[in-house]
Amino acid sequence: MLIPMREGRLLMPSASVAEVIGFRTPDPIAEGPLWLLGTVSWHQRDIPVIDFERLMGRAQTSAGIRQRIAVCYAIGTDLTSPLFGVVAQGIPRLLHLQTEQVEYASARSSGEQAVRMTLSVSGESLTVPDLDYVQAQLANRIAIG
């Protein structure tokens, strides 16, 4: 699934995205990092919402009027929250990607940075998040009950 960001697009497995919801201002978390925007209620559950670009170290820029929240499933067994939201700057869409479409790929070790891999497809750069890293950062910063 392609999730539009302010700069570029995030590529996530479609199975990891539970639903895309309209943007609503998250309830702040006391003393949270800038990339952790707060929590929103989704199906009677409070889920943390992150700004992935800020987690990557990019400066905040203005938000678009078409913002959404992609509600994502967390992976692993030792989870603070089984779900988290990622701010999208537009409507995410499905992308059927075949290996032969990838023009370039660079990978990093898992768990070290927010970005696991960068791909070039049809001249466009796509960012693949390191979900292990994201979840570790969330576990270190919040406790959702």
pLDDT score at 105: 79
CATH code of the domain covering residue 45:
2.40.50.180
24 within a domain of the structure (yes/no)? yes
Provide φ and ψ at 118, rounded to 5°.
Answer: -120, 130
Alpha-carbon distances, residue 92 vs 52, 105, 113, 141 (angstroms)? 14, 22, 23, 27
- From residue 46, give the alpha-carbon distance in Å to each of 24, 49, 85: 13, 9, 10
Q: Convert the pLDDT of each residue in 55-82 to its tens digit.
A: 998 877 666 678 999 999 987 655 667 8
Number of domains, the chain: 1
Q: Encode pLDDT of 22-31 as tens digits.
A: 999 999 988 8
Going by pLDDT thresholds of 50, 70 and 90, the confidence category of residue 144 is very low
Does 33 fall in a domain? yes
- The answer to whether residue 28 is domain-embedded is yes
127 lies in some domain? no
User: For residue 145, what pLDDT is reported?
Assistant: 37
Is residue 141 pLDDT above 90, yes or no? no
| CB-CB contact of 33 with 141 (8 Å) | yes
Q: Note whether 5 and 89 are within 8 A (CB).
A: yes
Per the domain annotation, does 18 fall within a domain? yes
3-class state of residue 79 by DSSP? coil
- Per-residue pLDDT of 29-58, as tens digits, reads 888 898 999 999 999 999 999 999 999 988
- Is residue 126 a part of any domain in this protein? no
The first and second tokens of residue 37, run together, are: 């925007």
Query: Which one has a higher pLDDT value, 133 or 79?
Result: 133
Domain-embedded: residue 84:
yes
For the chain, how long is the longest CA-to-CA vector? 46
Both structure tokens of 10 = 């995030």
**Tens digits of residue pLDDT in 80-131:** 678 999 999 999 999 888 888 888 778 777 767 899 999 988 888 899 999 8
Is residue 120 one of the residues assigned to a domain?
A: no
pTM, full prediction: 0.86
40: containing domain? 2-96+137-141
Give the Cα separation of 1 and 65 in Å (integer): 21
Report the DSSP beta bridge partners of residue 72: 17, 84
